[in-house]
Amino acid sequence: MIHYDPHHWWRHLLKLRGGILKEIVGRLGVFTAWAAAVVWFHQHVFKVDVPATGHTLAGTVLSLLLVFRTNSSYDRFWEGRKLWGGVVNETRNLVRVAALNIPSLELVRRLTAWTAVYPYALTRVLRSGGDDLGPAAAVLPRAEINQVLNARNAGIAVAMRISAILVEARRGGLISDIVQMEIDRNVQLLIDYQGGCERIVRTPMPFAYMLHLRRTLFLFILGLPFALVEPFGWAAVPVILLIAHTFLGIEEIGVEIEDPFGTEENDLPLEDIAGGIARILDDLVPWTNQVIESPALSYPGIAAPKEPPPVA
């Protein structure tokens, strides 16, 4: 994501980075050449002008379609940001409550490290790849990190390990069932937020809508020279270029922000958000520079039940 000051109007006017010109320049070239060909044919071969009334009406309808397309895409973008805001809040709540209720520094540090890994694992899920699990991965057992990387859903795999630590604390008599359930509620919310993100990634705009919009846009710009050639002459070429840039740019912006979890310049900065989560959690419960070992378990993260303490 590009950070900028919206008050500096002139500073950003001619910038190419973050814009959509490079994405539509090929289409602009085709429509500009077509407009020039129509104007030349009209002036030297045969009059091909048509009344502009049809294009005026079609332009109004097309504008509404483009507005709906852009609004729908921005709704997806903002929903993705709100979901990641929920991830930020719940990771903090999870570590905060665990640190105050689990009387075992080793377990809390291990839980904190896995919680710091979670946003990186979620990024891996949303982008269908990537091996970076953040700084906390360096202090966790490499075998367990490899299991997460090899899992079909890295986010769920990390959430399972966080919940397993809570089960380990309960079986060890460190927390009660009720405390375990209350802390694990934060893990459930993380999975809920992940499900919302996956819904955005796996549910694109309906194909029929996209296809109809692009066909209408193509035919509108293709027929525009016939409506403008008589009143504008050769000036119709730059006018059509400007109109095509506006309409194609609006449509491309919708495409750009439809999936907010990608790696393009206008997508959400997932790495920065994940890094910020890791730094905050490290301030809450610092993890060591040495590997945090997990006990030998029959199931990753879940310790064998301990004998209950003797009754006084």
Q: Is the confidence at residue 307, as pLDDT, over 50?
A: no
Ranges of each domain in the chain: 1-48+206-258, 81-204+269-305
User: What is the model's pLDDT at position 195?
Assistant: 96
pLDDT digits (tens, 9 = 90+) for 91-140: 999 999 999 999 999 999 999 999 999 999 999 999 988 888 999 999 99
pLDDT band at residue 293 using 50, 70 and 90 as cut-offs: low
- What's the pLDDT score for residue 304? 39
pLDDT band at 9 (very low <50, low <70, confident <90, very high): confident
Write out pLDDT tens, residues 43-86. Answer: 999 998 888 888 888 988 999 999 999 999 999 999 999 999 99
Q: pTM score, two decimals? A: 0.86
Query: Using 50, 70 and 90 to split pLDDT, how confident is the model at 310?
Result: very low
Supply φ then ψ for residue 299, to 5 degrees: -135, 135
Section 174-199 average pLDDT: 96
298 band by pLDDT with thresholds 50, 70 and 90 = very low
Total residue count of the chain as it appears in this document: 312
| Among the listed residues 191, 167, 138, the one whose alpha carbon sits nearest the alpha carbon of residue 300 | 167
What is the structure's pLDDT at 309? 44
Q: What percent of the chain has pLDDT over 90?
A: 72
- Assess whether pLDDT exceeds 50 at residue 296: no
pLDDT above 70 for 308: no
Q: What integer best gives the mean pLDDT of the chain?
A: 88
pLDDT at position 292 is: 64
How large is the average pLDDT for residues 281-290? 79
Q: How far apart are CA 118 and CA 88, in angstroms?
A: 10
Report the pLDDT value the prediction gives residue 16, as an integer from 0 to 100.
73
Average pLDDT over every residue of 258-280:
92
Q: What is the mean pLDDT of the segment spanning 191-200? A: 96
pLDDT at 21 over 60: yes
196-251 pLDDT, tens digit per residue, is: 999 999 998 899 999 999 999 999 999 999 999 999 999 999 999 999 999 999 99
Rounded Cα distance between 25 and 241, Å, is: 10
Q: What is the mean pLDDT of residues 282-311?
A: 55
